[in-house]
Amino acid sequence: MELPNKVLVYSQILGLSGTAGTLVDIRDEGCYELRLTSQGKLHVVLLPITQTGLVFAEAEPEVAPVESIER
């Protein structure tokens, strides 16, 4: 995983439900360092890993299923 990376943030602490942001770092202290826009300004936010859900904004590439596996 490369950082920074665009993510959707879910957190009850700040009332975020799919808010677009940028994951900048995963800190040893147990929190995500994120950049979020609020009221038209960019803010650095630290959210605990245990209470925050992240979804990477860019979808994974589709992988073609392998149909003929020799056993």
- CA 36, CA 20: separation in Å to the nearest integer? 7
What integer pLDDT is reported at residue 62 of this predicted model? 86
* Amino acid in position 36: L
Segment (H or E) for 11: strand 5-11
- Mind listing the pLDDT tens digit for each residue in 2-37? 899 999 999 999 999 999 999 999 999 999 999 999
Token pair in block for residue 65:
């299923």
Answer whether residue 47 shows pLDDT above 80: yes
The structure's pTM equals 0.79
